[in-house]
Amino acid sequence: MKVSLFLTCLADAAYPADVGRSTVEVLERLGCEIDFPKNQTCCGQPAYNSGFHRETRDVAKHMIRTFEHADYIVSPSGSCVAMLKEYPHLFEDDPEWIGRAKKLADKSYELTQFIVNVLEVEDVGAEFEGKVTYHTSCHMTRLLGEREAPMKLLKNVKGLNFTELPNKQQCCGFGGTFSVKMLPISEQMVDEKVQHIEETNADILIGADLGCLMNIGGRIDRQGKSVKVMHIAEILNSQK
Amino acid sequence: MGVKISNEKFFDRVDKGIKDTFMRKAVSEAQSRLEGRKIEVTEELGNWEDWRDLSEEIRQHTLENLDYYLEQFARNVAKQGGHVFFAGNAEEANDYITSVVKKKNAKNIVKSKSMVTEEIGMNEALEEIGCNVVESDLGEWILQLDDHDPPSHIVVPALHKNKEQIRETFNKKRQYDKTSDPDELAKFARQELRKDFLAAEVGITGCNFAVAESGSVSLVTNEGNARLATTLPETQITVMGMERIVPTWKELDILVTMLCRSAVGQKLTSYITGLTATKEQGDVDGPEEFHVVIVDNGRSKILGTKFQSALQCIRCAACINVCPVYRHVGGHSYGSIYPGPIGAVLTPLLEGYEDYKELPFASSLCAACTDACPVKIPLHEQLVEHRRIIVEQEGKSSFGEKLAMKGYAFGASTPSLYQMGIKGAPTFINTIAGKDGDGKGAGPIKLWTDIRNLPKSTGQSFRKWYNNREKGGND
Residue A17 belongs to domain with CATH number:
3.40.50
Please give the annotated binding residues of B, written as ranges: 313, 316, 319, 323, 366, 369, 373
A227 touches B: beta carbon within 8 Å: no
- Given an 8 Å threshold on Cβ–Cβ distance, is B384 in contact with A48? yes
Cβ count within 10 A of residue B64: 13
Residues A104 and A52 grouped into a single domain? yes
Kindly state whether residue B346 falls inside one of the protein's structural domains.
no
Q: Mind listing the pLDDT tens digit for each residue in A76-104?
A: 999 999 999 999 999 999 999 999 999 99
Name the domain boundary from A66, A98, A117. Answer: A117
Helices marked H in B200-339 — which ranges?
225-229, 249-264, 318-322, 324-329
Do A162 and A134 contact (CB within 8 A), yes or no?
yes
Residues A7 and A112 grouped into a single domain? yes
Distance from C-alpha of B269 to C-alpha of B261, rounded to nearest angstrom = 9
A135 touches B: beta carbon within 8 Å: no
Query: Residue A49 is nearest to which of B384, B409, B453, comparing CB atoms?
Result: B384
- Predicted confidence at residue B210, as pLDDT, reads 98
Residues A57 and A102 grouped into a single domain? yes
Cα–chain center distance at B228: 26
Q: Mind listing the pLDDT tens digit for each residue in A188-221?
A: 999 999 999 999 999 999 999 999 999 999 999 9
Query: Residue A44 is nearest to which of B401, B412, B418, comparing CB atoms?
Result: B412
- For chain A, what is the domain count? 2
Task: Give residue B139's identity as a one-letter amino acid code.
Answer: G
Distance from C-alpha of B286 to C-alpha of B276, rounded to nearest angstrom = 10
Task: Give residue B355's identity as a one-letter amino acid code.
Answer: D
- Given an 8 Å threshold on Cβ–Cβ distance, is B451 in contact with A11? no
Out of A10-19, A162-171, B290-299, pick the least confident: A10-19
- Given an 8 Å threshold on Cβ–Cβ distance, is A9 in contact with B362? no
CATH code of residue B114 = 3.40.50.10420
A49 touches B: beta carbon within 8 Å: yes
Do B99 and B107 contact (CB within 8 A), yes or no?
no
Which of A98, A93, A77, A109 is CA-nearest to residue A176? A77
Kindly state whether residue B144 falls inside one of the protein's structural domains.
yes
Q: Mind listing the pLDDT tens digit for each residue in B368-386?
A: 999 999 999 999 999 999 9
* 3-class state of residue B468 by DSSP: helix
**Looking only at Cα atoms, what is the longest distance across chain B?**
97
Distance from C-alpha of B186 to C-alpha of B160, rounded to nearest angstrom = 17
Distance from C-alpha of A80 to C-alpha of A212, rounded to nearest angstrom = 12
DSSP H or E stretch at residue B239: strand B235-241
Residue of B nearest to A140 (CA): B366
Do B238 and B217 contact (CB within 8 A), yes or no?
yes
- Predicted confidence at residue B475, as pLDDT, reads 52
Name the domain boundary from A89, A117, A145. Answer: A117
Please give the annotated binding residues of B for [4Fe-4S] cluster, written as ranges: 313, 316, 319, 323, 366, 369, 373
B465 touches A: beta carbon within 8 Å: yes
A51 touches B: beta carbon within 8 Å: yes
Q: Dump the DSSP string for B173-217.
A: HH---S---HHHHHHHHHHHHHHHHHH-SEEEE--SEEETTTTEE
Distance from C-alpha of B425 to C-alpha of A63, rounded to nearest angstrom = 21
Name the domain boundary from B233, B263, B295. Answer: B295
Kindly state whether residue B218 falls inside one of the protein's structural domains.
yes
B49 touches A: beta carbon within 8 Å: no
The domain in which residue A209 lies consists of 122-236
Do A17 and B464 contact (CB within 8 A), yes or no?
yes
Do A37 and A66 contact (CB within 8 A), yes or no?
yes
Going A88 to A89 to A92 to A94, the CA torsion angle's sign is negative
DSSP A132: E
Distance from C-alpha of B219 to C-alpha of B136, rounded to nearest angstrom = 14
- Predicted confidence at residue B326, as pLDDT, reads 98
Residues of A in contact with B14 (CB under 8 A): 184-185
Residues of A in contact with B363 (CB under 8 A): 175, 178
DSSP B309: G
Residues of B in contact with A179 (CB under 8 A): 364, 448
Kindly state whether residue B304 falls inside one of the protein's structural domains.
no
Residues A100 and A127 grouped into a single domain? no
Backbone angles phi, psi at B148, to 5 degrees: 60, 45
Pairing of strands A127-135, A158-162: parallel
Residues A9 and A89 grouped into a single domain? yes
- Predicted confidence at residue B444, as pLDDT, reads 81
Name the domain boundary from B269, B295, B321. Answer: B295
Distance from C-alpha of B342 to C-alpha of B444, rounded to nearest angstrom = 28
Cβ count within 10 A of residue A39: 15
Interface of A with B in 160-199 (CB under 8 A): 169-171, 173-190, 192
* 3-class state of residue A79 by DSSP: helix
Task: Give residue B179's identity as a one-letter amino acid code.
Answer: T
Residues B117 and B264 grouped into a single domain? yes
Do B309 and B319 contact (CB within 8 A), yes or no?
no
- Predicted confidence at residue B63, as pLDDT, reads 98
Do B34 and B265 contact (CB within 8 A), yes or no?
yes
DSSP B73: H
ipTM: 0.96
Residues in chain B with pLDDT values less than 50: none
Kindly state whether residue B359 falls inside one of the protein's structural domains.
no
How many angstroms away from the CA of A222 is the closest CA of chain B?
Answer: 5
Q: For residue A23, give Cα distances in angstroms to A20, B458, B472.
A: 5, 19, 19
Residues of A in contact with B399 (CB under 8 A): none
Interface of B with A in 418-447 (CB under 8 A): 418-419, 421-422, 425-426, 429, 437-438, 444, 447
Exposed/middle/buried for residue B375 (C-beta within 10 Å: 0-12, 13-18, 19+): buried
B448 touches A: beta carbon within 8 Å: yes
Residue of A nearest to B457 (CA): A15
Task: Give residue B343's identity as a one-letter amino acid code.
Answer: G
- Predicted confidence at residue A235, as pLDDT, reads 98
Name the domain boundary from B240, B268, B295. Answer: B295
Between A and B, how many CB-CB pairs are < 8 A? 202
B168 Cβ contact list (under 8 Å, min separation 6): none
Residues of B in contact with A58 (CB under 8 A): 409-410, 412-413
Q: For residue A169, give Cα distances in angstroms to A83, B166, B301.
A: 20, 33, 35
Kindly state whether residue B189 falls inside one of the protein's structural domains.
yes
How many angstroms away from the CA of B375 is the closest CA of chain A?
Answer: 16
Residues A129 and A40 grouped into a single domain? no
- Predicted confidence at residue B437, as pLDDT, reads 67
Residues A140 and A201 grouped into a single domain? yes
Choose from B451, B457, B467 for mutation: most chain A CBs within 10 A.
B451
Q: For residue B320, give Cα distances in angstroms to B23, B153, B299, B450.
A: 15, 8, 21, 29
Residues A109 and A129 grouped into a single domain? no
Residues A9 and A83 grouped into a single domain? yes
Name the domain boundary from A86, A117, A148. Answer: A117
Which of B328, B34, B33 is CA-nearest to residue A191? B328
Residue of B nearest to A57 (CA): B409
Residues A178 and A136 grouped into a single domain? yes
Residues A153 and A232 grouped into a single domain? yes
Do A104 and A80 contact (CB within 8 A), yes or no?
no
Task: Give residue A95's identity as a one-letter amino acid code.
Answer: P
Kindly state whether residue B397 falls inside one of the protein's structural domains.
no
Long-range pairs of B31-39 with CB within 8 A, sequence gap ≥ 24: B31/B321, B31/B322, B31/B326, B31/B327, B34/B263, B34/B264, B34/B265, B34/B321, B35/B321, B35/B322, B36/B265, B37/B264, B37/B265, B37/B266, B38/B261, B38/B262, B38/B265, B38/B318, B38/B321, B38/B372, B39/B265
Residues A6 and A113 grouped into a single domain? yes
B353 Cβ contact list (under 8 Å, min separation 6): B386, B389, B390, B394, B396
- For chain B, what is the domain count? 2
B399 Cβ contact list (under 8 Å, min separation 6): none
Determine the average pLDDT of the residues in A96-121. Answer: 98
The domain in which residue B444 lies consists of 421-470
Do B125 and B99 contact (CB within 8 A), yes or no?
no
Do A129 and A108 contact (CB within 8 A), yes or no?
no
